[in-house]
Chains A and B, each alone.
Chain A
Amino acid sequence: MAAKRTEPAVETVTVKVDGCAVEVPRTMPNWQGKPEPTTVLQACKQAGIEIPHYCYHPKMPVAGNCRMCLVHVAMPGRPGPDGKAPTNEDGSPKVFPMQLPYEPGTPRGVIGCATGIVPGMEIYASSPETKEMRKAVLESLLINHPLDCPICDQAGECKLQEYSVDHGQPESRFAEVKVHKPKAVDLGPRITLDAERCMLCTRCIRFTASVVGDDALGIVNRGSYNAISSYPGQPFDNNYTLNTVDICPVGALTSDDFRFQMRVWFLKETKSLCTGCGTGCNTVIGSRENRMYRYEPRQNDAVNSCWMCDAGRLDYKWIGRDDRLGKLHGPRGNTTWPSALREISGHLAKAAEGSVAIVASARQTNEELFLLNKLAKRYKALTDSVPRNGEADHLLVAGDRNPNTTGAQLIGVTTQRVGSKLSAIVKGIVSGKIMTLIVYGEDVTQHGIDAKLLGKLKMLIVSDILPNATTRKADYLLPGCSHAEKRGTFTNVKGRVQKFTKALEPSGDAMPEWEVLHELVHNVTGLDGFNSIEGLFNQMADEVKAFKAAGLTWASLGDNGADVKL
Chain B
Amino acid sequence: MSLEVPKKLEREINRLVKNYPEKRSASLMVLHALQEEFGYISTEAEEWAAARLELKSINIHELVTFYPMLRQQDPGRTVVRVCRTLSCALAGSAKLHGHICKRLGLDADAPGLQRTKDGKYGVEYAECLASCGTGPVMMCNDDFYENVSNDGADEILKKYDE
Contact = CB atoms under 8 A, between A and B. Distances in A.
A220 B56 contact: no
B140 to A, nearest CB: 27
Give the one of A220, A221, A233 with max B CB within 10 A.
Answer: A220
Contacts, number: 33
B56 A216 contact: yes
B43 A232 contact: yes
Interface residue SS majority, chain A: loop
B59 interface: yes
A231 B56 contact: yes
B24 to A, nearest CB: 11
Give the one of A215, A229, A231, A233 with max B CB within 10 A.
Answer: A231
B58 A217 contact: yes
Contacts of B58: 215-218, 229-231, 234
Given A215-B56, A216-B56, A231-B56, A221 B61 contact: no
Nearest to B46: A231
Contacts of A229: 58, 61
Nearest to B57: A231
A172 to B, nearest CB: 30
Contacts of A218: 58-59, 61-62
B65 interface: yes
A231 B61 contact: yes
Interface in B12-67: 43, 55-59, 61-62, 65-66
A259 B144 CA distance: 56
A544 interface: no
Contacts of A394: none
Interface string A203-240: 00000000000011111111000000111111000000
Interface in B59-78: 59, 61-62, 65-66, 68
Nearest to B43: A232
Contacts of A215: 55-56, 58-59
A232 B56 contact: no
Q: Could you say which interface size class chain B belongs to?
A: 10 to 19
Interface in A66-84: none
Nearest to A217: B58
Contacts of A232: 43, 61
Contacts of A231: 56-58, 61
B50 to A, nearest CB: 9
Contacts of A233: 43
B67 to A, nearest CB: 8
B57 A220 contact: no
Contacts of A234: 57-58
A232 to B, nearest CB: 7
Interface in A227-279: 229-234
Interface string B88-129: 000000000000000000000000000000000000000000
A234 B58 CA distance: 9
Nearest to A219: B62
Nearest to A209: B56
A219 B58 CA distance: 9
Contacts of A217: 58
A222 B68 CA distance: 9
Interface in A366-383: none
27 contacts: A215-B56, A215-B58, A215-B59, A216-B56, A216-B58, A217-B58, A218-B58, A218-B59, A218-B61, A218-B62, A220-B62, A220-B65, A220-B66, A221-B65, A221-B66, A222-B65, A222-B66, A222-B68, A229-B58, A230-B58, A231-B56, A231-B57, A231-B61, A232-B43, A232-B61, A234-B57, A234-B58
Interface of A: 215-222, 229-234
| Interchain residue pairs A-B with the least CB separation, the first 5 | A218-B58, A220-B65, A231-B58, A218-B62, A231-B57
Given A218-B62, A221-B66, A222-B66, 11 more contacts: A215-B59, A216-B56, A218-B58, A218-B59, A221-B65, A222-B68, A229-B58, A231-B58, A231-B61, A232-B43, A234-B57
